[in-house]
Amino acid sequence: MQWRFFGSVVLACVGAAAASAQQIALMPMPASAKRADGSLTVTPVHGLSHFTVAFARNGAPGALTADTRLLDAAHRMLVRLDRTCGGDVLRSVNGPASGRATLTIEVAREGEAVQSLDEDESYKLDVTPAGAQLTAATDVGAMHGMETLLQLASHVGGACVLPAITIDDAPRFRWRGFMLDVSRHFEPLPVIKRTLDGMAVAKLNVFHWHLSDDQGFRAESRRFPRLTSVGSGGLFYTQEQMRDIVAYARARGIRVVPEFDMPGHSTSWILAYPEIGSGEDIRALPTTFGIPVAELDPPRESTYKFLDGFIGEMSGIFPDAYFHIGGDETPGTGWMANSRIRAFMQRRGFAGPPELQAYFNQRLLPILERHGKRMIGWDEILNPALPKDIVIQSWRGEESLAAGARQGYEGILSAPYYLDAQKSSAQMFLADPLPADTKLDAGQQTLVLGGEVCMWAEQLDPETVDSRVWPRTLAVAERFWSPQSNRDLPYLYQRLRRASLELEDVGLLHISGPQQLRRNLAGTLHPEALELLASVTEPVSFSDREEEQHTDAYNSLDRLVDAVVADPPSRQAMAGDVDAVAGDVRLPAGGKDSPDTSGDVPEGFPPTRGEAIADLEERFFAWQRNAPALLQLARETPRLNDIEPLAVELGELGAVGAQALTFVDTRTAPPPGWAERADALLTRSAHNTALVRFTFLPSIEKLVLAAEARGR
């Protein structure tokens, strides 16, 4: 079963003799890692031991040479190491009373006062049986190294150990971001903090905070208090809270780039201050989603005075060099309905709204500059009228990133990393901001700064945010950090499972949150049957859901679709099993340019044919056995009424799967008509019901094809 994958990667005690074959499961994969013999014992089998950390600067040891940020990070690392190693590591960051510390951290300098794109994030980690040495140019690199060290710890031969290893690591891209929309649904402070903790594990370095949109303005302004008193519905961050988040992020090596969407997606601004809008009569915050009809008023000078005051105020809270102005989806509906604005466009010779938007952005540039900011915005701000020092965030496709680079603009890629598209980790991981076959020349390639994962919040709330974001974001974070040649999918999934558990350890609720939601949904009737269904279904994509969502039934975000996750572990496990039974088994070794991980193929992967058959039999049997319970659950639970077709089909698919497995295993030809009936069931089951879909249909189809082949 799926346990097999991570069970043997890090958790199993494999005995002292096997210490050299101990698994490493680093994520993101470092640029270079070389294993050596032996390991550093964190807890001895008997007796007391201190895991001590000493700091050195410029080669000179001394406990007091660490700055507060580094010291705090070391404390956090030791708390987590304690948990991994069983709670019995006695920890100290003051160095040992005598002799060598277990870990010496040497950092050349603290790092930039305001972290920039050019912050040196590299580090080296050297673990030998006698001790560990972490060296970095800055605190930020050292913090990345500490995350790596934590991932090395595991239990071998009755002790918690770090394998002997030399890691020399640095990120591939400088901009490795995560965007969170807190406008469509508000996310309270603890969610933001644990998201930042997850980002630190993933070595992501930019938190892009989408603070305003039509449905709510979430940042307190003292100059313009109506933005939140009228425009937030009461859900917003105070200035102290935003400062707290900036500090929390900085303590983890993460920049915070705020986004205030303008001139479109600005209904909440205009509800609060109609005088900066283009004449729309806004009476309330919208509660539905889509492309808005309201825009800020570009011809009016007072609009820029307002924005100057607002941006100045926000610049005192957000020190980052970049200020995100949004700029997406501005069709100009409000502008074209306003005769004064149309006349302005005519006088200026603007052909349409894109030219007026470019004018608006040109007016924003000196304002941003005056407050020490560089402009970043979505695709739509790309316009030759704007200077080359703006950054384009590409959301409409990979090609628009390249188009910007060819025109000399820096850019970051987001189009393939929209989490609400509900794509698999593998699909997102393989999408590369700079693919091997890029047509960009060397100079243009340097303009691609990296990418950002995006989490929009139309269908998201504080209970579901973690499971929508994690663990898939880890796969993209690895794409941004690790060498381009790292493309091995089985190996990715093995490490993802282990790193996913680590995320819960830092406080994310992406595993336990959906479990709780499912318990609430199922009650005491047949919770195990719902668990089974949830393990093999995933949410439909945003676009499919958007179509179907206009009923009250789905507005509360507490349905099965909210309690299942994209790309659940069973999908990959079943695909591996079917490959083992029906051929085409892929080994999970790294590519030739990958770090040296020889000896790191975990036990139980790939499964033997016998294991795979046993796993599949068990699954197919469970689907059939649970079908009556699922059906009863569907009929008796109002919020689950719509899963009835899934309950019926899961039982039928279990039966067909079991039959196909028997035909393949016993090399028996299926009876006449069987294949047609199986194909018809597969076709019938490939639908979106209750806003979820089955994840395993390609695996069953492969098995059915293999069975059919027996008949030829």
CA 333 to chain centre: 34
Q: Is 338 left (phi over 0), alpha (psi -120 to 50) or beta?
A: beta
Tokens (6 digits) for 534: 């949830």
Q: Which is nearer to ligand ACM, 456 or 663 (CB)?
A: 456
For residue 193, count other CB atoms closer than 10 A to its CB: 16
Q: Are 187 and 240 in contact (CB under 8 A)?
A: no
Q: How far is the CB of 326 from ligand ACM (least distance, A)?
A: 8
Task: Tell me the C-alpha to C-alpha distance, in Å, between residue 606 and each of 170, 572, 658, 695, 703.
Answer: 31, 11, 21, 20, 17
Residue count at the site for ligand ACM (CB under 6 A)?
A: 4
Q: Which is nearer to ligand ACM, 213 or 708 (CB)?
A: 213
CA 494 to chain centre: 17
Q: Which is nearer to ligand ACM, 175 or 395 (CB)?
A: 395
Q: Which is nearer to ligand ACM, 320 or 458 (CB)?
A: 458
Tokens (6 digits) for 689: 């019901």
The residue type found at 676 is E
Q: Are 207 and 200 in contact (CB under 8 A)?
A: no
- The single residue listed with the structure tokens 């898939």 is 472
Q: Which is nearer to ligand ACM, 328 or 410 (CB)?
A: 328
Q: How far is the CB of 361 from ligand ACM (least distance, A)?
A: 15
What DSSP line would sit under 580-623, residue for residue?
HHHS--------TTS---TT-PPTT-SPPHHHHHHHHHHHHHHH
Q: ∠226-229-230 over CA atoms, to 5°?
A: 75
Binding mask 283-322 for ligand ACM (x = CB under 6 A): ----------------------------------------
Q: Which is nearer to ligand ACM, 197 or 259 (CB)?
A: 259
Q: Which is nearer to ligand ACM, 207 or 378 (CB)?
A: 378
Q: How far is the CB of 413 from ligand ACM (least distance, A)?
A: 13
Strands 255-260 and 206-213: parallel
In the Cβ-directed half-sphere of 227, how many Cα atoms lie within 13 Å? Answer: 24
Q: How far is the CB of 208 from ligand ACM (least distance, A)?
A: 11
Q: Are 217 and 231 in contact (CB under 8 A)?
A: yes
Q: Are 213 and 265 in contact (CB under 8 A)?
A: yes
For residue 41, count other CB atoms closer than 10 A to its CB: 18
209: contact with ligand ACM by CB under 6 A: no
Strands 159-169 and 206-213: unpaired
Residue from 55, 207, 395, 554 touching ligand ACM (CB under 6 A): that is 395
Tokens (6 digits) for 107: 């950092």
Q: How far is the CB of 376 from ligand ACM (least distance, A)?
A: 12
328: contact with ligand ACM by CB under 6 A: yes
Q: Are 405 and 445 in contact (CB under 8 A)?
A: yes
Binding mask 63-102 for ligand ACM (x = CB under 6 A): ----------------------------------------
Binding mask 342-361 for ligand ACM (x = CB under 6 A): --------------------
Q: Which is nearer to ligand ACM, 253 or 450 (CB)?
A: 450
Q: Which is nearer to ligand ACM, 239 or 333 (CB)?
A: 333
Tokens (6 digits) for 684: 């019938």
Residue 269: burial class (beta carbons within 10 Å; 0-12, 13-18, 19+): buried
- The single residue listed with the structure tokens 């560990």 is 132
329: contact with ligand ACM by CB under 6 A: yes
Q: Are 422 and 459 in contact (CB under 8 A)?
A: no
Q: How far is the CB of 261 from ligand ACM (least distance, A)?
A: 9
> Beta partners for 178?
207, 453
CA terminus-to-terminus distance, the chain:
31
CA distance 567 to 2: 13
Q: Are 578 and 616 in contact (CB under 8 A)?
A: yes
Task: Tell me the C-alpha to C-alpha distance, in Å, between residue 467 and each of 420, 497, 574.
Answer: 11, 14, 21
Q: Choosing from 240, 275, 301, 329, which is the catalytic residue?
A: 329
Q: How far is the CB of 488 from ligand ACM (least distance, A)?
A: 31
Q: Which is nearer to ligand ACM, 49 or 333 (CB)?
A: 333
Residue from 378, 409, 470, 663 touching ligand ACM (CB under 6 A): that is 378
Q: How far is the CB of 511 from ligand ACM (least distance, A)?
A: 28
Strands 216-217 and 206-213: antiparallel
Q: How far is the CB of 395 from ligand ACM (least distance, A)?
A: 4
665: contact with ligand ACM by CB under 6 A: no
420: contact with ligand ACM by CB under 6 A: no
Helical packing angle, 139-152 and 189-202, nearest 10° = 80
- Using CB atoms, what's the residue nearest to ligand ACM? 328
Q: Which is nearer to ligand ACM, 329 or 531 (CB)?
A: 329
Q: How far is the CB of 614 from ligand ACM (least distance, A)?
A: 45
What is the phi/psi pair of residue 207, to 5°?
Answer: -100, 110
Q: How far is the CB of 695 from ligand ACM (least distance, A)?
A: 26
Q: Is residue 369 flagged as an active site residue?
A: no
Q: Are 631 and 658 in contact (CB under 8 A)?
A: no
> Beta partners for 55?
105
Q: Which is nearer to ligand ACM, 263 or 576 (CB)?
A: 263
- The single residue listed with the structure tokens 């040196």 is 120
Q: How far is the CB of 87 from ligand ACM (least distance, A)?
A: 44
Residues 6+ apart with CB under 8 A from 317: 239, 242, 243, 246, 258
For residue 640, count other CB atoms closer than 10 A to its CB: 23
Q: Which is nearer to ligand ACM, 328 or 567 (CB)?
A: 328
Q: How far is the CB of 329 from ligand ACM (least distance, A)?
A: 5
Q: Which residues bind ligand ACM (CB under 6 A)?
A: 328-329, 378, 395
Show which residues are catalytic: 329
